[in-house]
Chains A and B, each alone.
Chain A
Amino acid sequence: MARIPDRQICLDLLGRMCLIRRFEEEAGRQYQRAKAGGFLHLAIGEEATIVGTTSVMRDDDFLIGTYRTHGHALARGTPADEVMAELFGKETGTSGGRGGSMHIFDAERRFMGGYGIVGGNLPLAAGLGLASQYKGEDSVTVCMFGDGASNTGNFGETMNLAALWELPVVFLVENNLYGMGTAIERHSAVTDLSRKAEGYGIEGERIDGMDVLEVRERVGAHLEEVREKGRPSLVEAFTYRYRGHSAADPEVYRDKSEVEEWQQKDPIETFIKACLDDGVLNDDDVESARREADETVEAAVKFADESPEPALESLYEELYVVSETMGWYAVDERSPEPHRGELGEDAPDVAKNLAESGAAHAAEEQERQSREGVRD
């Protein structure tokens, strides 16, 4: 383990990792209670990779991730309330209930989103990097993606373009050894992913993603180098998710013993031990970090629970920006009138009617599910 930083930093790292762990455990529980729907991908076990990375990013740096990014948003400072509310599909969620677990977003903190298509965020990261370069800013983009994404065409295309244009992007593979249920040696011809962009002239480095201090130190070094030289780099962080790919994963592809082995290297427990051994933190600090995480998450569930559902008449909102260049938009061509909502003013009624018929169906379905206790 790398050198222990000062007390304030240790408290911050511990606090954020505890928050993510606690948040994810609770998200899993709320999913079982059908408060959260759809898919739920938990990052329990991957806290050090996430927090180590964000702890060395500047406020004006961009972060972009995958569908497993509740923790990334939390680490960036997005309120747990809003992340939980998004999981609950509520109006107060980070994406107003339009995105869900896979699409958390926080422009204010430059968390540029969670994305549901494997590898789809890689070109976007290059675009964010291009914008920094174009505007002459020295912000850097950190693009986090899984080992599975390294097999997509986007990986090769983006590495090539980012290297060619010398874009300021740190590509960070969260290598948790599985692309969904397929082990890395079964999905990637080259399993040393840090070398996978060598052909594009991008140097890579393997790091221990379970060690928050190593992540902090090494990703910090990459960030500074990319910031200075304006060339992309690749970091492969070895990490592990204790839970399945999603909440609906029976995990037939790995042994329990493997999970237990990784849990021995638990990123939070090992960090706590190092801090206690060093004396930089004491038992009270650890206790209060855990308590605070408990309280924050408990409050987030309450907030999400009590938040309103998105308003039905907002179904068509935010699809387009209506402006001088597009003065109107027909909310739905199925609706007989009006065709031209004048600046959208006529739209809400029509939208509301359509939405209500859809919502009525959703309510029936929800009732059926709770009656039959359906939950995969």
Chain B
Amino acid sequence: MDGEQPSTAQPQPQSRLVQTFACPNCGAPVTIRASGHTVVVTCRGCQSLIDVATPNHQIVSRYVSRRKFEPLIPLGSRGELFGNPYEVIGFMVRSDTESEFRWQEYLLFNPYHGFRWLAVANGHWNFLTMIKEQPSGASDGDVRYDGKNFALYFRGRAQVDYVFGEFYWRVRANDVVKVADHIAPPQILSVELDQGERVWSLGQYVEPDVVRGAFKVETPFPVKVGVAPNQPSPYPRIGGPFFFFVALLLAIQVLTDAFAGKEPVYQSGFEYARTAPDKVKVTPPFELKGRASDVEVVSVAPVNNHWLELRMSLIETNTGKTVSFEQGVEFYSGSDSDGAWSEGKHRHRILLSSVPAGTYYLTITPQGSTDTSYSVAVRRDVPAWSNFWIALTLLTLPAMLVGLLRYNFETRRWADSEFSPYQSSSEEEE
């Protein structure tokens, strides 16, 4: 709906929209703001409920409520909500017959756009519009409307405790109707079953400050308590994006790995003898080309029940820039009462990250518990998976945090509902 002010025909004599008459009970002036629609109206003076559907204005009830309720928004206030101005013309206090939980409802009127409702419970507000189209699956449980699934949240009986102002149906205190609420946050679908007729309303969660600002209410509104049935979660549903980014990350890593050069630049075998005088080996120079990237060094030694340690330095011939590292292999095997066993590895792999291009050689200083042969292989441009695991962790931790907060919010939302999908079996037994 747009809030466009419709064009009008030639100027008409100003019609008296607000009608006033004297209360048949106490004589105080009673005003009607939605004449033509209003069926009953209360007198501000004596609280009598007056029938105005017929011209003779009969008293329906001289009901004196045990308790008088003050509306948070004064009747007659005008404010703009969802693009259209509305005037507050009616106020109702209702309660659940079983729990005696109490809430307030305000009837809003715009002569062009019709009636709306504002309902406030536990400090949470909803803006409601009656709908003529019946949601499907309406008899029981969840319902579908406007392509969305609305989960059953509440079923009970609502009683009218107090009425004030004017209404377009014959409301009266102590009226009881069956009600049910279905939620698809931030929306709510409420249904009232009154004498065989199902009346559905679609509600939208509204922040209290929006309502207060719209109707320029000076006094503060009640503080929000708990989580409202259809309060939008501040924690987004992130499963989809999370798995999308994990898949993206994995794809990037797999592709990087697949397209990486992994170019062998040097490989050679050596002999280690504990008694030999020239145990230190110096390799011939080899070229590392291209942009700075990872270098993989793999040492293999066929030791058994022995160990071999290799201290190595990768040295650039021109600059003398040195990267030192150690590699060790050890392997033990045997058999005991449980059978054959083995531990350790014949192979040690190390990744040196971001090695710039240049001419390099390796110095190898071996030390071992036995004489053995060994081999050293150098490969250029071997991508590291460590970055992938770090990125995955950085992605997963906040996602889990948001997921937990969202779960917590949802359990609080459903805490008061007997239809909660989060309720544990022990709670159900209570």
Bound together = no
